[in-house]
Structure 1
């Protein structure tokens, strides 16, 4: 909605439901009038203050754990970028005019992320339904039944929170193991023939989208090297295992194939026998220092970039074919050749570097090309650091990223 005639601040304040906006550090950014009425706090008492400074848990009652549960929910939303609907929660809210006295309340919260232009979470929408009167209405002749119901609700809510926490810890452990496995399988950057090479791998921030990206460097002769990057669909331990198999297979294939296209053809055939390798993208470039040429072929991967000595950037997009296993029958892959001048730089990368949610891919390509042009004179190590710093600033990497820069 972009109608300039709509006052969205006024709309927010007029919403009948209680809604607050929090930053990702759980500090209030705003709250509408309904939220202020429900919570018994003014906007001045909320905005700019940490959530649990305003609403701490009741220190006198261990059963009053609603705020602790809310914190886990909000942090999950901030980390995952996914909404979270909480079970009914009991909150003890301290009276403003009677410090040390608490009002037992029952709230049903929903927490939703607000994404910025780079696809990262910038705000949290915290909507609350007040059900205190409904719970209290179960008193009188049904008082005992209501108490049993409340106890069951508390028990189920605690069980759900415990399950969510165990899942989070299990996912975190899997992520650590997968990253360690990936690091063990990827080659350690070092001198390759005459090349000066900078390699970077950046895991996704606050997500499980890790361990599908890979790179490889192979010395073919004294004057020829092969460099490749690829991206396996999926994440975690399974993606790390598939990645290791495909990287090793391509590294072997390029040493005996006639060129990068033939190597990718062989990799495509091999991928049919590897579960989880379907739709993997990869690009292979053979650098010939004797003829000063780059020979390349791409299996559905983003185009490498050639940074010329004058600062201009050229896309290597003349030999692009579908990803591995995408065709029902194998077919020859295209191959292209391009000359380079000494001092130019070859840049290969995976989609985590440039893709952003809700943004056209060409915007990301232009952003990378502009960065390379502005820092064309930097050596390969400094250029790699600069590219990551500029393109992944503000936690923009919701997917893992591999980057290889070869100074030619």
Structure 2
């Protein structure tokens, strides 16, 4: 028989200092060690704002514990990711003697607890009390202990400052890269009666962003080229490589007689573009008169063709290695599929369907199922439905580009 576990009792008995706070930084609970070592009762904590309970020592002009603790917790709320802080000095006022402060050194970790909606519902605030360790003199006298204490704390503050500078630099680079990405991925051009919708969703939080693109290119005779691509890498470097490849493919589609030849030209060009190696691309040429889609893929997930009856065909008959991935240049294959008026062509990048813990076939099956369920939606609504059905509620770890074209 499965034992009944009182998780509230387990939480209170946990060794070490652990508290739970709301996203507004209000105490929701604290275990027994936290109460004992912090010198507070449960009634003094619960329902109160953290810095009302533990204000910063006004007698220490160099105090930065509140600022750093607050910044760490707000990062957890914003990103949904764990944040480990450097060694921190945070003096605690003695409630029995107001105005009397006890020196403390903490090593805190803040971690999120996600709710059913994927947003942060609670912050787990775990603190290692290391005051005595910092004060220990490794066998020396009081002077040696004070020197060691000062040195350990100084080094920790230096590491924290370096970490903060790196975090700010990364955030700035990400903002610039996303702005560049947005400038190079405009709304779709007019396609006459054939409506199109495009979407770009950056990865949540961190590095793997700004390498995906989409494009719709008017072709001679009133036809249309539709393409998506994914540059390996992240940040400004990936965004810059993406911009060069997107422009080159747009020109190649206009100047060649099919998607395979366009990818041939792009593959040769990619050999001269830093960071373009192993880029994946799928390119389709839509011929309205013959009701055909001619396609070619350089290592990219297959486009999906949704028929009016709800069946889905993946265009996987002309797949080749990614750009510049093999030492010799060989002509690329292409294939053709028929479509009926009222069908839908969907091109996407791997962020929509790939998950680290499963085979890509599972993601493709989810995509096909979503397309069938929403087959009567217009392109804008269908694009939103696909993102809602397929992207994780707590955000994707890879960026995603998507094109939905009504045929």
TM range (shorter): 0.7 to 0.9
In the other structure, the counterpart of 1:319 is: 318
CA 1:29–1:209 in 2, change beyond 3 Å: closer, same or farther? farther
Matched, 1:185 2:184: yes
Alpha-carbon contact 1:193-1:224 (below 8 Å) kept: no
Tell me if the contact between 1:29 and 1:47 (Cα under 8 Å) persists in the aligned partners. yes
* Residues 6 and 300 (structure 1), Cα distance of their counterparts in 2 relative to 1, 3 Å cut: farther
Contact 1:300 1:320 in 2 (8 A): yes
Secondary structure, aligned partner of 2:132: helix
The runs of 5 or more residues in structure 2 that have no matched partner are none
Alignment CA distance shift 1:320-1:77 (3 Å): farther
1:160 aligns with 2:159: yes
1:366 is matched with 365
Partner of 1:172: 171
Shift of 1:404: 0.9
CA distance in 2, matches of 1:70, 1:141: 32
* CA distance in structure 2 between the aligned counterparts of 1:358 and 1:121, rounded to whole angstroms: 23
CA-CA distance at 1:307 after TM superposition:
2.1
Contact persistence 2:259–2:296 (CA under 8 A): yes
| Separation in structure 2 between the aligned mates of residue 171 and residue 37 of structure 1, nearest angstrom | 39
Q: Give the conservation status (yes or no) of the 8 Å contact 2:35–2:42.
A: yes
For the 8 Å contact 1:192–1:217, the answer to whether it is kept is no
Partner of 1:61: 60
Q: Structure 2: how far apart are the matches of 1:361 and 1:145?
A: 60
* Greater displacement, 237-246 / 52-61: 52-61
User: Does the residue aligned with 1:151 lie in a helix, a strand or coil?
Assistant: helix
- 1:53 and 1:311 map into 2 onto residues whose CA distance is 59
Distance in 1, Cα, partners of 2:28 & 2:220: 60
Unaligned runs of 5+ in 1: none
Aligned-residue CA RMSD in angstroms? 3.5
Q: 1:205 corresponds to which residue?
A: 204
Confirm or deny: 8 A CA contact 2:259 2:295 kept in the other structure: yes
User: Post-superposition shift, 1:324?
Assistant: 1.3
Aligned to 2:302: 303
Q: What is the TM-score with the length of structure 2 in the denominator?
A: 0.84
Quick one: structure 1 residues 350 and 256, their matched pair in 2 at CA, closer, same or farther if it must change by over 3 Å?
same
**Structure 1 CA distance for aligned equivalents of residues 119 and 351 of structure 2:** 13
Q: What is aligned with 1:379?
A: 378
CA displacement, residues 104-134 of structure 1 (integer Å, 9 cap, x when unaligned): 2112234456789999988765443222233
Q: Is residue 2:254 matched to residue 1:255?
A: yes
Separation in structure 2 between the aligned mates of residue 194 and residue 40 of structure 1, nearest angstrom? 71
Structure 1 counterpart SS, 2:384:
helix
Total equivalences in the alignment: 406
Match of 1:355 in 2: 354
Q: What residue is the counterpart of 1:331 in the other structure?
A: 330
How far is 1:187 from its partner?
Answer: 4.3
Aligned residues of 1:193 and 1:225 also touching (Cα < 8 A): no
Give the corresponding residue for 2:268.
Answer: 269
| Residues 85-124 of structure 1 aligned to structure 2 (within 5 Å) | 85-95=84-94, 101-111=100-110
Deviation at 1:263, TM superposition (A): 1.6
Inter-partner Cα distance in structure 2 for 1:333 and 1:43: 69
